Structure 1
């Protein structure tokens, strides 16, 4: 039995409880009333697609309206989320229909040149042209085995313990000062700050409530850290884990001060971090980098929706003039030959052309390379990008790179 007879409609605010129930079923989690309210606070029903089976929600896909920082620019980006199909309705094509309709509607609206998501299962979204563009570093730090350089605190600086939800203006001020240059960060209005900082007891996994610390100077806040602690003891004494949620610093002195604070919390022996950049500076500060326990995980997946606008919107690390032959079976207006030209300032244009092709790929590879973390040359070595003009891959790969790795900071 297929799902072609199951209509897909735009959601409404009244659908939220049923959508929440579906997602709980799909992700094996029963949401508390508080969780349901918090997640519902950012729900955008007009961007929700419901597979409606006789009045019941059998499948769902949605997007949030936010901005995403990409190399050299901040763009409107569809933040795709809340995707799932009931176990009773799997293998009927509902997910495919919802994801394809969503992408076509994003393209038709013309507001967002890219879509971004976190993948529950990575093999799913490659089928729809999403490329893994923003890997992240996870760390399990043996805190007693690492040391930071001894540096005096900045003159007039101080650390102040805070309750994160009570200091949103201060946190937001620091975040906004840095957001335009931090690839992979998403915009946060008041509603999103409250969502990100929500501290639901059922989600703490036995740890404390959320803590915060502000690093301040006479000119105001220059950074903050958010964490919680999972207390524990063993036969040798205290064995607590500091679970670091977010560290944001405007300068190296603030960065060192915040990490020195987090790595020396009393009674803790471990600090865990799940949202660090591949080039996280902490790796180059500590005396025992092996004790950071660093591993790489997937993070942000990018789908190019409007190819010429997306490629022209970001900046490039070096001049480039390359003709791309792109295949996009879903959004066919992206298919064809495109000349991408960027000057020494990084500014670019992308226009249709009939000139000879330099590189050939699908839209997925361009999505993977879009945030500057995945080299086109690596995709060439994998055989998914084909070089048709000698040296084109080297010059294009250099241009698509960026001086800092993306830093995925939150699952949405």
Structure 2
């Protein structure tokens, strides 16, 4: 005998699923952050995200913040990481706050934070996935800070929830408050569906689900969550006619990627290696104002004293030359009393190689007069040791191969170009007596 009650129950389930499939959504949430300036695994994480993007169709990517430091070279690595992966949201964590606001630096990208009233910082953003509107709100832990423009996050959140009413189906909050504060947050505001935890004091453990079916998602550098959304408050019937209330969210798979599994993206690894070389060079002091090499602990900085004369003297001594001539664009910036890193040397001098040639006194005088006509231009020449020169048939000149560009007719046939330039000499420490 046909069980009509069971058939009707199954039919009602089918109709329910068909009708309510509109406005439902499933997507992958990618969260990355909490690096605090540590970038050694970024290339592997980059590859992990690329791998997920190749296997998933609908993805929402959130930068949970707390990545930056006061070192702009390290920060550039993180800018490249998030920009190349095209993250949808950038949360202003406490570390970003320290860099941008306390150091009075300009934000070069948009961040979200509800409780910081500052230029280029928005309280939230809305994203649409399968016709489901999701609001992402940021709350920054700034209440131990002495900066201005801080607002009460609970008051601001309540105002924002009024504004978002009937405009969004889901509300996510990225927060670097403490775990206790985050639990209090979802207890106080039932409208919040998911809190994504950032910050130093989070507990990296399994997803937390409250009795009200709200979630806390902890993130450590990189985490992925497969999320299903269903319309809230809809009732359905099982095959026996029993009433079932469907959950608004189902976290199907929550997992962290084993970053050791990935080889890393070659192109992004090159970016990291390049920036790391710059950072390493800046930390390596190689040239001192008094011809010695110091460690940072021995650093002595006094009055501003130009040291180019001193370097020229050393060049003349090393090559047994009579005169050092430097075209103005060889020296890209001034040098003063103090210590210089390899990176700074790279930015002070050009890449031109050492050129050695001979010149008569008459031609030297002509060269000086021609140079004076070019004062204020890149053709102008700096002469070092001219005050000590004595009269003789020919003078051995130490200069750079860029001298060819404007003064080739003074060089003659007998000249020698060395394989290295002044930067190489400074690196090798050849000036030490």
**Under TM normalisation by the shorter chain, which class is it?**
under 0.3
Specify which structure has the bigger relative contact order, considering alpha-carbon pairs within 8 angstroms and separated by 6 or more residues: 1
Q: Which has the higher strand share?
A: 1
Bigger radius of gyration, 1 or 2? Answer: 2
TM-score (norm 1): 0.24
TM-score (norm 2): 0.23
